Amino acid sequence: MSHENLRDLNAFATVAEEGSFTRAAARIGVSQSALSQTIRALEERVGIRLLNRSTRSVAPTEAGERLLARVRPALREIDEGLAQLSELREKPAGTIRITADEFAVHHILWPAIERFLPDYPDIVIEIITDYGRTDIVSDRYDAGVRRGRLVSQDMIAVPISSDIHMAVVGAPSYLAKRPSPKSPQDLIGHSCINLRLPNHGEFFAWTFQKGGKEQRVKVEGQLVFSALPAVLTATLAGFGLAYMPAAMIKPFVETGQLVEVLIPWRQTFERYHLYYSNRRHTSPAFSLLVDALRYRG
């Protein structure tokens, strides 16, 4: 249906309901002559008279009554649909889809979402774990979460974390069997637990920094996982050293279940950002979530 037909049908229904061109014109917000021209144009297109006009009243013809019976429910549904959209603009509701890597899901998004959701029962948040550079526009996500340098420049990016510190850790039972590494090169003689990135199949690189110089070490071991919780479980069980975000292993270091090594060589990655298209029309729900996630440290 063209915009012209929809406009004209609405004009016809209004005239039929009001029984007067004068009242219908006032209700729609057009002049009486313009409304008369609209109805005449509609009748010419359909090839039949729709309204009987007299000096005192206006009433639908038989053809007009039949058309009105079909038009009224459709126009009512359109009005209801527009009203629902208006409610979405005014009331925080709807589904928000976000893509994020595993660490961001558990240690950045979830703490904020846990506090956020109870206050907004009509908001649904769907999170998909993904390590790749997801095209959030073509894949129909509302937003993505990645470290700063992985965010495209044509996106709006909002910082949602502090910088990410990495740590090499091992269980006391493992470190009791081998000397603790003093430099990144010493890792070559250790059993290390690798993380394979599921999107492109490469191992997550073990990089280190000290005195402004960066080192990358290719480590080996008996275990490779594609998920950080599995790496953590194997590390706690004493199967080797792991390279993980310091925030993730902090509770286990504090209780003595894990020991951090190579502390002077800690690598620091840039903070995480929530990013979304600058062409996106943000809903109240999305705006509230962005504000809840925004890093203020």
State the CATH number of the domain containing residue 53.
1.10.10.10
Instruction: Let me know whether 79 and 153 are in one domain.
Output: no
Instruction: Let me know whether 144 and 193 are in one domain.
Output: no
User: Which band of pLDDT confidence, cut at 50, 70 and 90, is reported for residue 197?
Assistant: confident
Q: Give the Cα separation of 205 and 207 in Å (integer).
A: 6
Q: Give the Cα separation of 154 and 176 in Å (integer).
A: 50
Instruction: Let me know whether 59 and 142 are in one domain.
Output: no
Instruction: Let me know whether 254 and 192 are in one domain.
Output: yes
Domain region containing 134 = 94-162+271-293
Instruction: Let me know whether 148 and 187 are in one domain.
Output: no
Instruction: Let me know whether 139 and 281 are in one domain.
Output: yes
Instruction: Let me know whether 28 and 110 are in one domain.
Output: no
In the chain, the N- to C-terminal Cα span, in Å, equals 53
Q: Give the Cα separation of 251 and 261 in Å (integer).
A: 16
Instruction: Let me know whether 22 and 105 are in one domain.
Output: no
Instruction: Let me know whether 192 and 101 are in one domain.
Output: no
| The three-state (H, E, C) secondary structure of the chain, written as one string | CCHHHHHHHHHHHHHHHHCCHHHHHHHHCCCHHHHHHHHHHHHHHHCCCCEEECCCCEEECHHHHHHHHHHHHHHHHHHHHHHHHHHHHHCCCEEEEEEECHHHHHHHHHHHHHHHHHHCCCEEEEEEECCCCCCCCCCCCCEEEEEHHHCCCCEEEEECCCCEEEEEEECHHHHCCCCCCCCHHHHHHCCEEEEECCCCCCECCEEEEECCEEEEECCCCCCEECCHHHHHHHHHCCCCEEEEEHHHHHHHHHCCCCEEECHHHCCEECCEEEEEECCCCCCHHHHHHHHHHCCCC
Higher pLDDT, 4 or 173: 173
Residue carrying the six token digits 């492109």:
200
Determine the pLDDT at residue 98.
96
User: Which band of pLDDT confidence, cut at 50, 70 and 90, is reported for residue 1?
Assistant: very low
Instruction: Let me know whether 188 and 247 are in one domain.
Output: yes
Last residue of a domain, one of 90, 112, 143: 90
Instruction: Let me know whether 264 and 284 are in one domain.
Output: no
User: Which band of pLDDT confidence, cut at 50, 70 and 90, is reported for residue 3?
Assistant: low
Last residue of a domain, one of 90, 115, 139: 90
Q: How many domains does the chain have?
A: 3
Last residue of a domain, one of 62, 90, 118: 90
Which CATH number goes with the domain that contains 208?
A: 3.40.190.290
pLDDT more than 70, % of the chain: 95
Look at 56-65, 82-91, 217-226, 278-287 and tell me which has the smallest mean pLDDT. 82-91
Which CATH number goes with the domain that contains 281?
A: 3.40.190.10
Instruction: Let me know whether 168 and 244 are in one domain.
Output: yes
